[in-house]
Amino acid sequence: MPHLSATARSVPGSGIRRIFELAAALDDVIQLSVGEPEMRVAPHILAAGAQAWSSDTTNYTPNSGLMLLRSALVGKLAEHNGVVVDEDQVHITAGGSQALHMAMCLTLDAGDEILIPNPGYATFSMASRLVGAVPVPYLLTADRGFAPNLAELEQLITPRTRVLLINSPSNPLGVVYGPVVLGELLDFAARHDLWVISDDVYEYFTFTGPFTSVASLDTTDRVFGVYSLSKTYGLTGGRIGYLVTPPGVSGTFRAAQEATVSCVNTPAQLAAVAAIEGDQSAITDAREHYRSNADAACAALSTRGIEFSRPDGAFYLWINVSYCSGGNVAEWAEAFLLTQRVAVAPGSAFGSAGEGWIRVCLAGQQEPLLTALSRLPER
């Protein structure tokens, strides 16, 4: 039998999905392992998608998406993100994951290197390997507030370094970088002539200050912005996101899009128009719910003397379980699921620096969240 490609075989499985799929086969599990908002999708968004299906609005769209949606996003980017672009720089994708994949397709050749956060979202490493590139982790530690260390970044530069990936608000850490840190990272990228891929998926969920888009500080046209409606509007299964590119990239993007998905399904795009242009109060409600959950969870852990990193954004809690995980948090998380019926994401799924930690989703109801945390072993 022929071999699968070495590139495909180099992509590691997701430690997050492993726990999620094990949990799906069990009863009475408190599911905290995946970033799934439990908020109901706003009725006007559902209605727009349903109307598209019922009226058979199901034909192809342009590779980069409906102009109606891209125009709405141009307005949103200017108002919310401080990013001024035209419709030719906005490209609709099948979720933020495809936006991330397309950004890497456009910036990386086989053997090129991309600097990714450690701990960082598992897909950063997986997607870069899928395009034949080499992920090079840069360390984020609690003692530095999980901010990148520029001196350490300098040591990672090689002749093959092509991209710096930034994620704020961070999955899994909940850290939010302000203009000073982001400006320093942009200056670093400019010194080494790197592209920047900025994962802004959790842009609406910050708790302690405003959100800053990396692209709003960019004066050298090097930022690819990755966005998603999945977390913002609870549309995780709708698979709708977008990639914002520097000028002059549209023709290359459209050819690559044609070679992958051609275009995103039309009803999802029309639902996205309704989401962007309609009532935004559900976002505010969700943010306050996540903040309340974070406050309650942090209080519960503090009472028990369990170390954690209080999130400034996103909707995750990063908890140190090294006191009980025995040096293998992936195995511990599986045993915790089987014995306590609580699904958490092992920190090692986010990189080597995540060993001994777990990520807990704060996007569900508060009572089961606190019940799940009460099942953590005593120190």
Looking at the structure, do residues 322 and 246 belong to the same domain, yes or no?
no
Q: Note whether residue 75 is domain-resident.
A: yes
Looking at the structure, do residues 219 and 191 belong to the same domain, yes or no?
yes
Looking at the structure, do residues 269 and 196 belong to the same domain, yes or no?
yes
Please give the tally of structural domains in the chain: 2
Q: Note whether residue 1 is domain-resident.
A: no
Looking at the structure, do residues 51 and 140 belong to the same domain, yes or no?
yes
Looking at the structure, do residues 50 and 92 belong to the same domain, yes or no?
yes
Looking at the structure, do residues 31 and 55 belong to the same domain, yes or no?
no
pLDDT of residue 248: 96
Phi, psi of 272 (to 5 degrees): -65, -40
Of the three residues 251, 277, 303, the one that is the final residue of a domain is 277
What CATH number corresponds to the domain at position 178? Answer: 3.40.640.10
Looking at the structure, do residues 202 and 170 belong to the same domain, yes or no?
yes
What is the chain's pLDDT, residue by residue, as a tens digit (379 residues)?
A: 898 999 989 988 888 889 989 889 989 999 999 888 888 899 999 999 999 999 999 999 999 999 999 999 999 999 999 999 999 999 999 999 999 999 999 999 999 999 999 999 999 999 999 999 999 999 999 989 999 999 999 999 999 999 999 999 999 999 999 999 999 999 999 999 999 999 999 999 999 989 999 999 999 999 999 999 999 999 999 999 999 999 999 999 999 999 999 999 999 999 999 999 999 999 999 999 999 999 999 999 999 999 999 999 999 999 999 999 999 999 999 999 999 999 999 999 999 999 999 999 999 999 999 999 999 999 8
Q: Note whether residue 379 is domain-resident.
A: no
What CATH number corresponds to the domain at position 292? Answer: 3.90.1150.10
Looking at the structure, do residues 313 and 246 belong to the same domain, yes or no?
no
Q: Note whether residue 146 is domain-resident.
A: yes
Looking at the structure, do residues 86 and 194 belong to the same domain, yes or no?
yes
pLDDT of residue 146: 94
Q: Note whether residue 176 is domain-resident.
A: yes
Q: Note whether residue 307 is domain-resident.
A: yes
Rounded-to-integer distance, Cα 282 and Cα 43, Å:
10
Rounded-to-integer distance, Cα 124 and Cα 313, Å:
19
Looking at the structure, do residues 268 and 285 belong to the same domain, yes or no?
no
Of the three residues 255, 277, 299, the one that is the final residue of a domain is 277
Looking at the structure, do residues 204 and 285 belong to the same domain, yes or no?
no
Q: Which residue's entry shows tokens 């998905």? A: 261
Looking at the structure, do residues 214 and 341 belong to the same domain, yes or no?
no
- List the domain range (segments joined by +) for residue 313: 6-41+281-374
Rounded-to-integer distance, Cα 151 and Cα 231, Å:
33
Of the three residues 277, 299, 329, the one that is the final residue of a domain is 277
Q: Note whether residue 188 is domain-resident.
A: yes
Q: Note whether residue 255 is domain-resident.
A: yes
